[in-house]
Structure 1
Amino acid sequence: MSRLRKILTPKVVVSGLVLGAVLAGFGLYWFQPWKLFQDETVNEALPGAVSPPAASAPATRAPGESSPSASAPAAPRTLARGEFISHEHRTSGSVQVLELADGSRVLRLTGLETSNGPDLHVWISDAPVKEGVGGWRVFDDGEHVGLGKLKGNKGSQNYAIPAGVNLDEFGSVAIWCDRFDVSFGAAELVRA
């Protein structure tokens, strides 16, 4: 007992408490366990969609003037689509690659439901989508393009695809946790 008392001096006890507090703080920062209980819902409008005109008195037009609907932008064209499967966390929803009237492209997640987590990103990748544990870590093995941080773990969201990206080289989408190098869920892109 006296030997233990010699080892557990106030200096050693305080040092142990400080070290424990630092490790606990680091663990909380790294794992962010509270995010598992917090949902972030983001519902963005379909890009290029036109809002219906507000109900008001009919507008008068000069002879030969086109109606507002005649100048409305064309609806986005679907280039590819897919359905999410679950990997590390239960994930569902659909994905579309859309070409807008101006020629730009966006990746649209619709009805997304996944877990929240630290450092989540949306990637397009050349990796095949595999069911089960074997598919969790493949998306950073080959080519991938990050489209940005996941805006919310639920809802419908849009992510711009850079102009120089050749979509023929990328056949999948992943919700990627960069902190732990693991896919929460993924979808195979099938050309429309």
Structure 2
Amino acid sequence: MNSMNRFRRLLRAHRILAAVAGLALVSLVVLGAALFQPWRLFTSSSLNEALPASPVSASATPTDQAPTPTAPTPTSSATATSVPSTPVILSSGTFQSQEHETTGTAQLVQLADGSHLLRLENLASSDGPDVKVWLSSLEAGGDWFKYRSGRYVDLGAIKATHGNHNYAIPAGTDLAGLTAVVLWCDRFSVAFGSAPLT
């Protein structure tokens, strides 16, 4: 009789241990899924935004050269200003792949009101958790671990994996020395792709 009781206690203990182990395993799977979001390997999104005002002709500002800013036509002494009357591409560059295949162009644009925005055109990249758009002081390409050690401006979460997007640059941002655009996965400190601004 004692041996039967010991067997029942042992069986009960194993059942409790198995239940705890099963619960721990399920918790790990749920936590891993929430953290890594593996389904994003198979998802994408698209967004096509126009510039807030009439865009500068693409032929006037090729993406592989520094554009010549549009000179305002003075009609009086009051028009002598450095603010263009139409959007002007100040610098641009082509995306190169890093951790994920990424294509398209990035453009630093000055709007007619003097504000600045970053425009991503014909972007094609991968989905991922917590992907941000950064302006960085470090060179595009190469080892992505470097980007945290440089100066950067976080323009917020990427709006879509594909298309044409505008990202407002906060007023007062010192743009000097910000020479690259980085699609940065903040959760895992990985660069999906980057583009020089030249």
What is the CA–CA distance in structure 2 between the aligned matches of 1:7 and 1:118, rounded to whole Å?
42
2:111 to 84, 100, 117: 100
The number of aligned residues is: 162
**Which of 1 and 2 has higher RCO (CA within 8 Å, sep 6+)?**
1
Alpha-carbon contact 1:108-1:159 (below 8 Å) kept: yes
Q: State the partner residue of 2:40.
A: 35
1:11 matched to 2:11? The reply is no
* Residue 94 (structure 2) aligned to one of 83, 87, 100: 83
Structure 2: where are the runs of 5+ without partners? 1-6, 56-83
Q: One-letter code of the match for 1:23? A: L
TM-score by length of 2: 0.77
Percentage identity across aligned positions? Answer: 41
Superposition misfits of 4+ residues, deviation over 6 angstroms: 5-8
**1:48, distance to aligned residue in structure 2 (A):** 1.3
Q: Which residue identity does 1:40 align to in structure 2?
A: S
Give the superposition deviation at 1:36: 1.1
Shift of 1:7: 9.9
Instruction: Name the counterpart of 2:158.
Output: 150
Shift of residue 166 of structure 1?
1.6
Cross-structure match for 2:125: 114
Q: CA RMSD in A?
A: 1.8
Q: Describe the SS at the equivalent of 2:148.
A: coil
C-alpha distance in 2 between matches for 1:75 and 1:180: 39
Could you tell which deviates more after superposition, 106-115 or 74-83? Answer: 74-83
Per the TM alignment, residue 168 of structure 1 is displaced from its structure 2 partner at its CA by 1.4
Indicate whether 1:123 and 2:125 are aligned. no
Do the aligned partners of 1:114 and 1:154 also contact (CA within 8 Å) in 2? yes
Give yes or no for contact 1:91–1:184 (8 Å, CA) kept in 2. Answer: yes
- How big is the shift at 1:185? 0.2
> Following the alignment from structure 2 to structure 1, what is the Cα–Cα distance between the partners of residues 152 and 127?
22
Asked if the contact 2:141–2:193 (Cα under 8 Å) also holds between the matched residues in 1, the reply is no
Stretches of structure 1 lacking an aligned partner (at least 5 in a row): 51-72
Partner of 2:146, secondary structure, is coil
TM-score after normalising by structure 1: 0.80
Q: For 2:13 and 2:28, how far apart are their aligned partners in 1?
A: 20
Report the CA distance between 1:49 and its aligned residue: 2.8
